[in-house]
A and B are shown apart, each in its own frame.
Chain A
Amino acid sequence: METIRIKDKEQKNAAKEAEKTIQPGATITGSQAVMEALIAEGVATIFGYPGGAIMPIYDALYDYTNRLEHILVRHEQGGIHAAQGFARTSGEVGVAFATSGPGATNLVTGLADAQIDSTPLVCITGQVFAHLLGTDAFQETDVINVTMPVTKWNYQVTDASEIPNTLAKAFYIARSGRPGPVLVDITKNAQIQQFEYPGYQRCHHVRSYRPKPIIRKEYITEAAKLINEAQKPFVIFGQGVILGQAENEFKTFIEKGNLPAAWTIMGESALPSDHPLGVGMLGMHGNYGPNVLTNECDVLIAVGMRFDDRVTGRLDKYAKQAKVIHLDIDPAEVDKNVKTTVPVWGDCKETLPLLTALIEKKDRAAWLQVFAAYAAEEDKECIQPEMHPKGDVMSMAEVMAALNELTNGDAVIVTDVGQHQMVACRYAKFTKSRSNVTSGGLGTMGFGLPAAIGAKYGAPDRTVVAIIGDGGFQMTLQELGTIMQFGAAVKILILNNEFLGMVRQWQQLFHDKRYSFVNITSPDFVMLAKSYGIEGQSIDQRAALKAALKTMLDHDGAYLLEVKVGKENNVFPMVPQGSSVAEIRLK
């Protein structure tokens, strides 16, 4: 399918006329002020869906289509996940539009996902006229209160004059400190209202808001001392390294100290997969060594991560022997789940170099060897059998291995949620940061396809592969329509095991194989894709795998490849829920 974006020519012409930035003092509508704000904030792409209460904003957008690309999604959940994918690959704030009522409530899952995964978003929702607020008007939902627990900040605008400042504040809050989703709800009267435009001033501080805690030098000194005295130091890192754009600072830090480092799924790709000090993934389906050795290290250095229970396993048996250093920008994370010995508050882009300066170069060959020994055991017991399964049925792991070979680790890997997600995160190779886009904290099925669309807009020059299960794909497959209309060249790789695999695995292991509603049927995915004008094929033979993957990657445009994999394969290693990380099972 051709990748040229379909754009309405008339729209383009209309847009040209409104090319100029509006000058202060001009009389404009609230909706125009919204457009001016987006442009001033450097926004170029919006994911959205129109409706009654946001129509004035869409009307203003009509004149701005030269400068603002609007992607019409097929469902607001798709819109917000796309905005998330965009933010994750680009590092910029993702923007989504939705109308009031059902449009706005459809954003909730994405807001919750972005909130827990610290993704910077500004969502703009239309709202009924201010005089109708509280009257149960048509499509009136109290969006501010509904979204309060799932936004970093939200605000309802009822007067056009508030728009420039509110949006400036929204963008600032979304992207600063620990990023997060912000929602601005604008009543229809404010969108229509004319006011004297004061110009747009970007926001740089809000007096009650401290995005970055001050760095306490004494803690840096104490942390360095602990690291220098440690025999078995172990670094674990999360998305904070990526959000803080501190990949280089992080690498320098571990390299100077010769410190083994393991990532959470959110931190993955911050360090190239082949880095000699990268010892693997943490957590429930993470690698063997990093989990076991968390409970054997003497100093645990956590960088930009939040000790999710999927990482810690049973908390009262987590790293009890270790002194814990926690570097985090969010003071509320320190001591939240794991008691720290030394808290290093601050942006790790600033704290890591301070720490690096104070740590000593050490040879830690013996300690690194311990990780290597565990890795070898995992390789023998888990990885090799998965990569080379007996019999004809393919495993997810071998699909990932073949994909790595073809992409050389340069692709952006977007995943949905389930077994395929864990396998993808375990096996995918990365050479660049911001390459692993996954729903880590919320585990949102249906995230994959729309997030991949957004990821492609956020990184247009990169190959984006969406790895999705047969179950999750059916949650947001309507976004194939978005691909059809706007041409995002997303490579969709469905790993079909004919099951809600992850739930089935738990039922097998912990519920006596009582498979309760995990058997899921699927449509003909290839025909489905074709009906949207997207090329594709389905394979179930190993012999066809490499060629099929190559066809997918080489295809000019979006492509869907379904690979039929083993139905009842399990993901191992696994830390069973309620067990300590040291009790990780290899089979």
Chain B
Amino acid sequence: MKQQYTITVYAEDQIGLLARITIIFSRRKINIDSLNTSSSEIPGIHRFNIVIDETEEVVKKLCKQIEKQVEVLKAYYNLNDEIIWQELALYKVPTSQVTEKMVVERVLREYGARVVSINSDYTVFECTGHREETDRLVKLFEEYGLIEFVRGGRVAIIKSSEGFHKKIKEFEAREPGEEVVENEYLSEQDKVFSM
């Protein structure tokens, strides 16, 4: 069964790695629904969030292919109930329309939106939430002459994850756990080979 999965990738911050990761999807004709790259809790390590609609079997194989890339440390995949996630959206609406029709108050109250910019021509609202929430606001603003809409990539925190720091610490232990062994050089940043 296809479901929405969020893939979290920890990787070195290196030019070209994004392309190496995305071609793993495009080669298999899999559409990326949302993609976000950012720094992570560990300096120098990048974190990607990739959202796709696929079966678990496919997602698992994709993660193995991603982990196979030299610069990738780890790839996790999760269903929506295993993560805390948010998407940010911006909406540009004609100021005349929204003030006239008194929508501003409703939008701010019911949708938890914020006004980020306002001038005589247009107003920009921001809304952060799940897909349905940001979509609902699109519907509403369409009635008031929505000029522009954009949504950012999903950012997600894995509920059960204790982060990557723990793995680094565990490395000092005599018998590191399996996952740590897989990344045994993580804490040895100075000693390891990098460019």
Contacts and interface: CB of A to CB of B under 8 A. Distances in A.
Interface of A: 144-145, 148-149, 152-156, 162, 165-166, 168-169, 172-173, 203-210, 213-214, 216, 330-332, 335-336
Contact of A206 (B67, B70, B181): B70
Contacts of B137: none
B193 A169 contact: yes
Contacts of A204: 193
B16 A207 contact: no
A561 to B, nearest CB: 42
A330 B67 CA distance: 10
A165 B193 contact: yes
Interface in B54-92: 60-61, 64-65, 67-68, 70-73
B51 interface: no
A213 B19 CA distance: 25
Given A149-B23, A208-B70, A208-B72, A332 B194 contact: no
A148 B64 contact: no
A156 B188 CA distance: 25
Top 4 nearest A-B pairs by Cβ distance?
A207-B185, A332-B64, A207-B192, A153-B70
Contacts of B67: 331-332
B12 interface: yes
19 contacts: A148-B20, A152-B70, A162-B195, A165-B193, A205-B192, A205-B193, A206-B192, A206-B193, A207-B73, A207-B192, A208-B183, A209-B70, A210-B182, A214-B178, A330-B68, A331-B64, A332-B61, A332-B68, A335-B61
B161 interface: no
B27 interface: yes
Nearest to B189: A207
Nearest to A204: B193
B181 A208 contact: no
Contacts of B195: 155, 162, 165-166, 169
A252 to B, nearest CB: 28
B98 interface: no
Contacts of A169: 193, 195
Contacts of B185: 205-207
Q: Which of A152, A154, A173, A332 has the most CB of B within 10 A?
A: A332
Interface string B167-192: 00000000000100111011011001
B65 to A, nearest CB: 5
A331 B185 CA distance: 19
A208 B40 CA distance: 15
Contact of A208 (B12, B61, B178): B12
B176 to A, nearest CB: 10
B11 interface: yes
A130 B38 CA distance: 27
A179 to B, nearest CB: 13
A152 B67 CA distance: 12
Contacts of A203: 193
Q: Which of A210, A214, A332 has the most CB of B within 10 A?
A: A210
Given A152-B70, A208-B73, A331-B68, 10 more contacts: A148-B20, A155-B195, A204-B193, A207-B12, A207-B183, A207-B188, A213-B182, A214-B182, A332-B68, A335-B61
Contacts of B70: 152-153, 173, 206, 208-209
Contacts of B68: 330-332
A539 to B, nearest CB: 46
Interface in B146-180: 178
A206 B192 CA distance: 6
A168 B193 contact: yes
Q: Which of B60, B73, B178, B195 has the most CB of A within 10 A?
A: B195
Nearest to B16: A144
